[in-house]
């Protein structure tokens, strides 16, 4: 028998070469000689995608055959990062593709750099969704990710004259080889209009919604390949388009302008990601987006459910819907509408299904980030949903009254409608009422939810509340981004850690092995050289790879306290100014992160960092012992370069403000030591790696509360601490702003007069702790011991562990193995 190698599935180097050239010629439409690296990337991506399709279909067939319960992860954001390197790892194709690409005269590293990342998220919440998709595919949890295929993702950031400038992110410019459009599975989504009553053939009174406009949602599927699991799940992102009928009806009747306006309305819905995290603005388009993808998702699930020959009343047995924050929580009302209005179920049955389908993950404790919509706006966009919410609310509040007789203050706090003054729909309340589980994302966060933000709901339904501490995927965040350290670890303990991160525990003993520590440092140095080259290219700044890399990368926010880091840098700077010959181990301070375009204070913090950098980096007294770098356009790809090279991870939020943090996990997995507050998952990381291997400072969440309650006076701290005063005075004097004494005034005034995030209260504790960091860093052997123990003890923070907990405690789904 002659074995014929199929050019779309075979994985020998020869077959891969033929396949790449084929795709280059027939799909991309160019020749090997003429192809740009960008075109060559597309051909490689198609070649990899071809090798995914068979297992993709097999996975779906297997789910169908085993009639499993499917998890639907609903999220307004999926911050996937580039797919190629991750898919190569998970499919075990890295080496043959590398060789095939090399034999065709290109370098795989260069080709991988061509991929423009789908930045369809702001930060933590969107990236968490991506890590969870990776773990679900790896563990064999049947899952579909549902979201929006934004045409423009998070803006790309430039720094001009120290200020952030936003540029649109047209990530689809060169096409997207990973997605497949499925127009046959399109659905329609309505907006506005009115509701009307009617009587059905059985004499029952029914309500129907007559929307004023209808848009079409078209799904685009991207395969999510598990790590060597043979499984590929679906990420289904919806694009909004105009329906021909809407467009042509108007067009035919001569209303050209109306036709174009309708088309514009429809196409705008999936046009752009809102770049605010942790702050809501109540924009109509945002509500339209949320309803759009949530309705598309629910219609898709119902279609799949019925197509499998099942009855609508078993819906909750086959689908578990996870709400990634309140952004898709309109789904509670939409599922009720679909079941009652469209499928004719009675209210009680529909509610039983709905309230056994949804679970809700909360990601924030900041009051300004709790979503609420003005009732008039809500009524004009979703009139039928408001009626349904009123009915849900009436029934719910009567239950509250039964439990807490006479406690009308509680009733009004728990109401889904905020009845005070201008009325609002409270989405977190809707999500709590409509879900059978509510979870926080770290132990402290869940406790604070129960004690504060959602206390009333916890008192009514304590059994609903559980904690699932976040996790991150060790595939992308260790294996893909830090191949050098991964190889070192695999040489010592095998590669089992890739799907069981606890196996790195075996490295603990090696912390006492001087030869291993030396190897560890050699690897770390190589990785830092890699980042050093990037920094030079991206910013023109040359940094010393043997200096300590002290890194703070995350969205810019006052509660995350990037400006506290600046106070530390300036404290060191003035020590050097006083004593230019002071012995000080060199440090490189790396910042990265985007500010929401409308968040003036965050933008001013970026300007402050760059202004300080300008002075400190060029001051001859500093003698290059301090280097401050703001890395522009921090995104997933840049994160992959930064985390592995960090020596020190800065996790310095005001205690009680950061729900979990996930960057903290990526750093520690890569062997960075953390300096941090007792906030979010920092607490659990410290417990896992050992208190002696973690640099702790600052007030606790309780102390923060009591400090504020007792009438906090930041100015008193400023007046009594000469070092702090020197730093603050230098900024207000214009020393870092070309003598302009007004530039940073808003920032300084706020710190001196209210300081809501308690920078001054934590200042001295932070400085003292940083001095301990410096002390220990001088002992490189000790530092390496601690770094190795950090990396070895991060097993708990694999997203595989998080997904197992969701599967067991919330979704009640079993992982499958391929049939
Ligand atoms: C809401 C309404 C309108 C426009 C935008 C938004 C919006 C968008 C994004 C609100 C919040 C977000 C993002 C929140 C977020 O990323 N939270 C982070 O979630 C991480 C994963 O759980 C945690 O680790 C972080 O602590 C938390 O800040």
Angle, in degrees to the nearest 10, between helices 383-403 and 427-434: 70
Q: What is the DSSP string of 155-224?
A: PEEEEETTEEEEE---TTTT--TT-EE-GGG-EEEEES-EEEEEE-TTS-EEEEEE-SEEEEEEEEEEEE
Bridge partners of 120? 78
Q: Does residue 717's CB lie within 6 angstroms of at least one atom of ligand 1?
A: no
Which residues are CB-contacts of 175 (< 8 A; sequence separation ≥ 6)? 42
| DSSP conformational letter for 119 | E
> Is the pLDDT confidence value at 605 over 70?
yes
Q: Is the pLDDT of residue 464 over 90?
A: yes
User: 371 CB less than 6 Å from ligand 1?
Assistant: yes
User: Both ends of the chain: CA-CA distance in Å?
Assistant: 28
Cα atoms in the 13 Å half-sphere on the side-chain side of 566: 29
pLDDT at res. 65:
87
Does 363 contact ligand 1 (Cβ within 6 A)? Answer: yes
Q: Please state which of the ranges 262-266, 359-363, 711-715 shows the lowest mean pLDDT.
A: 262-266
Task: Compute the distance between CA of residue 192 and CA of residue 209 in angstroms, rounded to an integer.
Answer: 9
- Specify the DSSP element, H or E, that contains 551: strand 548-553
**Ligand 1 within 6 A of 679 CB?**
no
Of 665, 587, 661, residue with least CA distance to 624 = 587
330 C-beta closer than 6 A to ligand 1: no
The gap from C-alpha 29 to its chain's centroid, in whole angstroms, comes to 35
**Confidence class of residue 284 from pLDDT cuts 50, 70 and 90?**
very high
d(CA 521, CA 485): 10
Question: Would the CB of 326 count as within 6 Å of ligand 1?
Answer: no
| Mean of all residue pLDDT scores within the chain | 96
Q: What is the mean pLDDT of residues 656-685?
A: 98
Q: Is the CB of 127 under 6 A from ligand 1?
A: no
Q: Is 123 in the pocket of ligand 1 (CB under 6 A)?
A: yes
Provide the pLDDT for residue 1: 67
**Rounded Cα distance, 137 and 438, in Å:** 23
Q: What percent of the chain has pLDDT over 90?
A: 94
Mean pLDDT, residues 403-432 taken together:
96
CA of 277 from ligand 1 middle (Å) equals 5
Ligand 1 centre from 123 Cα, in Å?
A: 7
Res. 580: pLDDT tops 80: yes
3-state secondary structure of 703: helix
Nearest CA to ligand 1 atom 7: 277
Which ligand 1 atom sits closest to the C-alpha of 662?
24
Shortest-distance atom of ligand 1 to CA 470 = 22
CA distances from 729 to 571, 748, 763 (A): 12, 9, 15
Secondary structure of residue 15 in the 3-state scheme? helix
- Mutate-to-test residue for ligand 1 from 278, 294, 679, 701, highest number of ligand atoms within 8 A of CB: 278
Ligand 1 geometric centre to CA of 596 (Å): 12
d(CA 733, CA 531): 35
The per-residue pLDDT for range 313-337, each reduced to its tens digit, is 999 999 999 999 999 999 999 999 9
Indicate if the alpha-carbon torsion angle 427, 432, 435, 440 is positive or negative: positive
Ligand 1 atom closest to 681 (CA): 24
Known catalytic residues are 363, 554-555, 560, 662, 666
**Which residue did the predictor score with more confidence, 454 or 256?**
454
Domains delineated in the chain: 1-66+90-114 (no CATH), 67-82+117-470+804-811 (3.40.50.2000), 474-699+760-797 (3.40.50.2000)
When pLDDT is averaged across residues 494-513 and rounded to a whole number, the result is: 98
Which residue has the least CA distance to atom 20 on ligand 1? 124
The tokens describing 612, both together, are 């300080």
Q: What number is the ipTM of this complex? A: 0.98
Nearest protein CA to atom 1 of ligand 1, as residue: 280
> 121: CA distance to ligand 1 center in Å?
9
CA distance 640 to 90: 17
Closest CA to 140 of 51, 55, 46: 55
Ligand 1 pocket, 662 CB below 6 A?
yes
Distance between Cα 124 and ligand 1 center (Å): 6
> DSSP string spanning 222-253?
EEEE-SSSS-EEEEEEEEEEE-HHHHHHHHHT
- Closest-CA residue, ligand 1 atom 4, reads 280
- Write the pLDDT tens digit of every residue in 742-785: 999 999 999 999 999 999 999 999 999 999 999 999 999 999 99
| Burial of residue 362, with CB atoms counted within 10 A of its CB: 0-12 exposed, 13-18 middle, 19 or more buried | buried
Other residues' Cβ atoms within 10 Å of the Cβ of residue 734: 14
At 2 the pLDDT is 66
Pairing of strands 143-148, 232-242: parallel
pLDDT at 740: 98
Binding site membership of 274 for ligand 1 (Cβ less than 6 Å)? yes
- Measured distance CA(385)–CA(416) in Å, rounded: 13
User: What's the confidence (pLDDT) of residue 247?
Assistant: 62
| Residue 658 Cβ contacting ligand 1 at under 6 Å | yes
What is the number of the ligand 1 atom nearest to the C-alpha of 281?
Answer: 3
Q: Tell me the average pLDDT across 56-82.
A: 95
**125 C-alpha vs ligand 1 centroid, how far in Å?**
5
Which among 316, 293, 295 is positioned nearest to 305, based on CA atoms?
316
Q: Which has the closest alpha carbon to 375: 430, 417, 316? A: 417
Average pLDDT over residues 1-28: 91
Q: If you ran DSSP here, which 8-state letter would residue 813 be given?
A: -
Rounded CA-CA distance 47/27 in Å is: 10
The candidate with the shortest Cα–Cα distance to 642, out of 475, 482, 501, is 482
> pLDDT class for 3, splitting at 50, 70, 90?
low
**How confident is the model at residue 622, as a pLDDT?**
97
Tokens of 674: 């953390």
Residue 369 binned pLDDT confidence (cut-offs 50, 70, 90) = confident
Tokens at residue 77, please? 């954001």
Nearest alpha carbon, ligand 1 atom 12 = 277
Question: pLDDT tens, 189-248?
Answer: 999 999 999 999 999 999 999 999 999 999 999 999 999 999 999 999 999 999 977 666
The string of pLDDT tens digits covering residues 120-132 is: 999 999 999 999 9
């Amino acid at each position: 028998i002659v074995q014929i190698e199929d050019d779309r599935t075979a994985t020998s180097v020869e077959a891969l070469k033929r396949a790449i050239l084929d795709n280059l010629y027939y799909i991309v439409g160019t020749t090997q000689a003429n192809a740009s690296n960008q075109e060559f990337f597309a051909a490689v991506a198609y070649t990899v995608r071809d090798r995914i399709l068979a297992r993709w279909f097999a996975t779906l067939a297997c789910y169908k055959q085993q009639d499993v319960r499917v998890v639907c992860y609903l999220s307004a954001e999926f911050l996937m990062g580039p797919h190629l390197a991750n898919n190569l790892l998970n499919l075990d194709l890295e080496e043959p593709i590398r060789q095939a690409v090399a034999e065709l005269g290109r370098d795989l590293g260069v080709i991988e750099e061509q991929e423009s990342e789908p930045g369809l998220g702001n930060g933590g919440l969107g990236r968490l969704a991506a890590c969870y998709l990776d773990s679900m595919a790896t563990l064999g949890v049947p899952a579909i990710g549902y979201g929006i295929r934004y045409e423009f993702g998070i803006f790309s950031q430039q720094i001009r004259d120290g200020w952030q400038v936003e540029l649109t992110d047209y990530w689809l410019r060169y096409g997207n080889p990973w997605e497949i459009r499925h127009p046959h599975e399109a659905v329609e989504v309505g907006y506005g209009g009115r509701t009307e009553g009617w009587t059905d053939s059985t004499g029952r009174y029914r309500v129907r919604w007559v929307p004023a406009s209808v848009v079409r949602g078209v799904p685009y599927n991207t395969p999510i390949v598990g790590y060597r699991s043979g499984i590929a799940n679906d990420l289904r992102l919806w694009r909004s388009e105009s329906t021909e009928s809407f467009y042509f009806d108007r067009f035919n009747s001569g209303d050209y302008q109306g036709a174009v306006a309708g088309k514009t309305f429809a196409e705008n819905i999936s046009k752009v990601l809102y770049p605010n995290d942790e702050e809501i603005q109540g924009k109509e388009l945002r509500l339209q987006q949320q309803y759009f993808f949530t309705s598309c998702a629910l219609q898709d699930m119902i279609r799949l459910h019925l197509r499998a020959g099942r009855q609508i009343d078993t819906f909750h047995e086959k689908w578990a819907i996870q709400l990634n924050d309140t952004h898709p929580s309109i789904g509670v009302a939409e599922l009720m509408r679909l079941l009652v209005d469209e499928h004719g179920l009675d209210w009680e049955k529909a509610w039983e299904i709905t309230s056994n389908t949804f679970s809700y993950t909360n990601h924030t404790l900041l009051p300004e980030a709790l979503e609420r919509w003005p009732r008039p706006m809500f009524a004009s966009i979703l009139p039928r949903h408001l009626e349904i919410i009123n009915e849900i609310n009436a029934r719910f509040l009567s239950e509250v009254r039964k439990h807490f007789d006479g406690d009308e203050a509680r009733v009004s706090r728990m109401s889904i409608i905020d009845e005070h003054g201008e009325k609002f729909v409270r989405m977190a309340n809707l999500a709590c009422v409509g879900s059978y589980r509510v979870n926080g994302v770290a132990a402290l966060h869940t406790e604070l939810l129960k004690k504060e933000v959602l206390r009333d709901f916890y008192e009514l339904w304590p059994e609903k509340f559980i904690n699932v501490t976040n996790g991150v995927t060790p595939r992308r965040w260790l294996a893909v981004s830090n191949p050098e350290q991964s190889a070192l670890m695999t040489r010592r303990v095998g590669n089992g850690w890739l799907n069981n991160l606890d196996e790195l525990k075996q490295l603990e003993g090696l912390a006492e092995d001087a030869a291993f520590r030396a190897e560890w440092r050699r690897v770390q140095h190589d990785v830092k050289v890699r980042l050093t080259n990037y920094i030079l290219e991206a910013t023109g700044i040359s940094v010393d790879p043997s200096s300590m890399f002290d890194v703070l990368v995350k969205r810019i926010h006052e509660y995350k306290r990037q400006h506290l880091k600046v106070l530390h840098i300036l404290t060191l700077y003035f020590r050097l100014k006083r004593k230019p010959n002071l012995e000080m181990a060199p440090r490189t301070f790396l910042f990265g992160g985007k500010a929401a375009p409308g968040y003036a204070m965050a933008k001013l913090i970026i300007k402050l960092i760059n202004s300080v950098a300008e002075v400190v980096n060029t001051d001859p007294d500093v003698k290059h012992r301090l280097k401050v770098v703001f890395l522009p356009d921090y995104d997933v790809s840049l994160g992959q370069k930064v985390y592995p090279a960090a020596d020190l991870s800065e996790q310095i939020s005001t205690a009680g403000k950061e729900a979990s943090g996930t960057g903290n996990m990526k750093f520690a997995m890569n062997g960075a030591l953390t300096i941090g507050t007792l906030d979010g998952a920092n607490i659990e990381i410290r417990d896992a790696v050992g208190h002696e291997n973690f640099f702790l400072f600052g007030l606790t969440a309780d102390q923060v509360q009591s400090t504020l309650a007792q009438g906090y006076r930041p100015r008193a701290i400023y007046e009594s601490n000469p070092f702090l005063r020197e730093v603050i005075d230098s900024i207000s004097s214009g020393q870092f702003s070309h003598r302009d004494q007004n530039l940073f005034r808003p920032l300084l005034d706020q710190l001196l007069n209210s300081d809501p995030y308690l920078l001054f209260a934590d200042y001295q504790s932070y400085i003292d702790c940083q001095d301990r960091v410096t002390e220990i860093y001088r002992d490189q052997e000790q530092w390496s011991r601690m770094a190795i123990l950090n990396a070895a003890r991060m097993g708990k923070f694999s997203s595989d562990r998080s997904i197992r907990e969701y599967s067991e405690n919330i979704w009640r789904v079993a992982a499958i193995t391929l049939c």
